[in-house]
Amino acid sequence: MFDFWQQYKLNYLRKHNRLNLDAMRRFNLPKPMIQKEFLDIVKQEFNQLH
């Protein structure tokens, strides 16, 4: 899994509604973490439509 500080940064972005690719790259989050987050967002939107 991802380390504490990476999770903390991701939660900070979620809390402040700034979860986007630029912000995640600025925080130096690893690529797999960014991919997982975007996949979760797409899954969530898909489930809301169906």
Instruction: Output the six-digit token pair for 49.
Output: 């439509």
At position 41, the amino acid (one-letter code) is I
Q: What is the pTM of this model?
A: 0.81
pLDDT band at 2 (very low <50, low <70, confident <90, very high): confident
Task: Give the sign of the dihedral formed by CA 27, CA 36, CA 17, CA 8.
Answer: negative
Instruction: Give tens-digit pLDDT for 15-38.
Output: 999 999 999 999 999 999 999 999
Question: Where are the domains positioned within the chain?
Answer: 4-49
- Three-state helix/strand/coil letters over 1-50: CCCHHHHHHHHHHHHCCCCCHHHHHHCCCCHHHHHHHHHHHHHHHHHHHC
